[in-house]
């Protein structure tokens, strides 16, 4: 089972792939006592939440301070853990990535021997590893839709130095990884990688897992006694971090049936340019044009609410697009596109102006407020969401491109 296999198959197949790993590793039972020895290390004060420090020596030497994140997912009786450390460019987009997979939740003091994995095995959809493993990918190729240089381990270890629990935030695993191996793909020679990471991680599937939810209200402006207040409460969210050059943005889409109707739907969109970070507040919401709101993309951060009637595809009847406001990112567990699954939690408060699309009639001003939390899919740098670039009034909730799938959990 390769990284490609993990991230390119449908959700059911992805879960089965995870199960295949965990069956080999003991179906969630405690594995045999490992003899891994990563050596003593001092955790630097600069290793803050969501960061990593990676050093590679040998034929492709480099040192970087980057990001870190991860998740756990429970499938049947087994738990799979993924940790991820990645370098970023000036725009915050991952450019290389250390991907680590092991059984069970991160536990302070636990160590694992890393199983040798070659590039050929890693890219074989039918490969099943015999234990925890780590690989480092570099030099992303848009045509190949993947990293092209790989440092694969012939020996190595993983040690969980600490697990930190902070009120109001996801737990974080402070981990040490050491591996020595050979470069494959577009590079040759050997190398040794040493990494420290402080990776917030979220439970995405199984007991104690986080659940996607969004709650919002839309009041009339100015506020009038007895005026109708629309509300939206749903667990139907589609959230994507796009990394494509010129289109880098976080897209949050939610939909639900309109109360009192059989098939009419309401959509709420938040679109934030760039790669947000945890604690980012007062991300200003701008004013898109009507055409930009129809297309689901604009040159400014924006929010909107759309009302749709049944059809194939549904037909957008009314659009309320933002005129100003804020989105606050309260928490973000971010990973690279190899790890795929992140997590975001935040709130929003913005004003909108409404338009009846069939007539062009002005529907007045309203205020939208609410909260959201959701699994986050990090797309490949070559990919763009199919987010409703429309010439007619066809509705389109954000969807991944046909070549990939969203986070399976």
pLDDT tens digits along 283-335: 778 999 988 888 777 889 999 998 888 776 678 889 999 999 999 998 999 99
Residue 207 pLDDT exceeds 70: no
Pairing of strands 230-234, 213-221: antiparallel
User: HSE on the CB side for 207, CA within 13 Å?
Assistant: 6
Structural domain span for residue 335: 213-378
For residues 127 and 2, the answer to whether their CB atoms sit within 8 Å is: yes
Pairing of strands 213-221, 190-205: unpaired
* Residue 140: C-alpha distances to residues 55, 186, 287, 333 (Å): 19, 11, 35, 22
Residue 257 pLDDT exceeds 60: yes
Q: Is the bond preceding 222 in cis, omega lying within 30 degrees of 0?
A: yes
27: left (phi over 0), alpha (psi -120 to 50) or beta: left
Residue finishing a domain among 205, 240, 267:
205
232 and 175 in one domain?
no
* Residue 385 domain-assigned (yes or no): no
* Residue 346 domain-assigned (yes or no): yes
Q: Percent of the chain having pLDDT more than 70?
A: 81
Mean pLDDT taken over the chain: 82
* Residue 405 domain-assigned (yes or no): no
Sign of CA dihedral 94, 134, 55, 157: positive
142 and 247 in one domain?
no
Instruction: Look up the pTM and report it.
Output: 0.86
154 and 18 in one domain?
yes
**Which string of b and e fits 277-293 if b means at least 16 CB within 10 Å?**
ebebeebebbbbeeebb
Rounded Cα distance between 14 and 87, Å, is 26
For residues 372 and 346, the answer to whether their CB atoms sit within 8 Å is: yes
Structure tokens at 192: 């040794």
* Residue 247 domain-assigned (yes or no): yes
Rounded Cα distance between 208 and 316, Å, is 37
Rounded Cα distance between 259 and 244, Å, is 37
Residue finishing a domain among 205, 240, 272:
205
Q: Which residues pair with 401 in a beta bridge?
A: none
Written as one string, the DSSP assignment of 21-51 is HHHHHTTTSPPPPP-------PPPTT--TTE
Domain count, the chain: 2
Sign of CA dihedral 10, 14, 17, 19: negative
229 and 155 in one domain?
no
pLDDT digits (tens, 9 = 90+) for 47-101: 999 999 999 999 999 999 999 999 998 866 678 899 999 999 988 889 999 999 9
pLDDT digits (tens, 9 = 90+) for 4-20: 434 443 332 333 344 34
154 and 13 in one domain?
yes
Residue 131 pLDDT exceeds 80: yes
Q: How far apart are the first and last CA of the chain?
A: 17
* Residue 387 domain-assigned (yes or no): no
Rounded Cα distance between 393 and 318, Å, is 10
The Cβ of residue 163 has, within 10 Å, a number of other Cβ atoms equal to 17
Q: Is the bond preceding 313 in cis, omega lying within 30 degrees of 0?
A: yes
Of 247, 212, 243, 250, nearest to 328 (Cα)?
A: 250
């Amino acid at each position: 089972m390769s990284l490609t296999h993990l991230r390119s198959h449908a959700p059911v197949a992805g879960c089965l792939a995870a199960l295949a790993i965990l069956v080999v590793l003991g179906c969630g039972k405690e594995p045999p006592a490992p003899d891994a020895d990563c050596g003593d290390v001092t955790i630097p004060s600069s290793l803050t939440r969501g960061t990593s420090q990676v050093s590679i020596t040998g034929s492709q030497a480099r040192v970087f301070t980057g990001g870190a994140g991860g998740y756990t997912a429970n499938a049947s009786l087994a738990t799979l853990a993924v940790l991820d450390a990645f370098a970023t460019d000036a725009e915050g987009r991952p450019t290389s990535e250390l991907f680590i997979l092991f059984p069970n939740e991160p536990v302070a003091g636990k160590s694992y021997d890393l199983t040798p994995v070659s590039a050929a095995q890693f890219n074989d959809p039918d490969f099943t590893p015999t234990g925890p493993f780590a690989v480092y990918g570099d030099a992303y190729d848009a045509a190949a839709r993947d990293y092209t240089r790989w440092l694969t381990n012939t020996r190595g270890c993983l040690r969980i130095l600490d697990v930190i629990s902070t009120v109001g935030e996801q737990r974080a695993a402070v981990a040490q990884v050491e591996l020595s191996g050979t470069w494959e793909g577009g590079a040759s020679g050997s190398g040794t990688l040493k990494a420290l990471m402080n990776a917030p991680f979220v439970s995405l599937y199984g007991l104690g897992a986080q659940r996607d939810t969004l709650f919002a209200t839309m009041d009339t402006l100015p506020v009038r006694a007895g005026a109708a207040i629309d509300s939206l409460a749903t667990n139907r969210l589609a959230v994507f971090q796009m990394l494509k050059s010129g289109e880098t943005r976080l897209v949050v889409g939610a939909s639900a049936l309109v109360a009192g109707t059989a098939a009419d739907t309401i959509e709420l969109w938040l679109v934030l340019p760039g790669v947000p970070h945890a604690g980012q507040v007062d991300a200003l919401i701008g004013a898109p044009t009507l055409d930009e709101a129809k297309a689901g993309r604009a040159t400014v951060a924006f929010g909107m609410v759309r009302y749709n009637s049944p059809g194939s595809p549904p037909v957008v009847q009314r659009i309320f697009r933002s005129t100003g406001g804020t989105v606050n990112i309260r928490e973000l567990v971010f990973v690279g596109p190899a790890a795929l699954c992140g997590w975001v939690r935040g709130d929003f408060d913005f004003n909108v102006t409404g338009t009846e699309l069939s007539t062009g009639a002005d529907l007045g001003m309203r205020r939208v407020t609410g909260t959201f939390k959701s699994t986050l899919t990090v797309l490949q740098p070559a990919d763009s969401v199919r987010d409703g670039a429309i010439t007619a009034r066809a509705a389109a909730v954000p969807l991944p491109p046909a070549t990939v799938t969203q986070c399976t959990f």
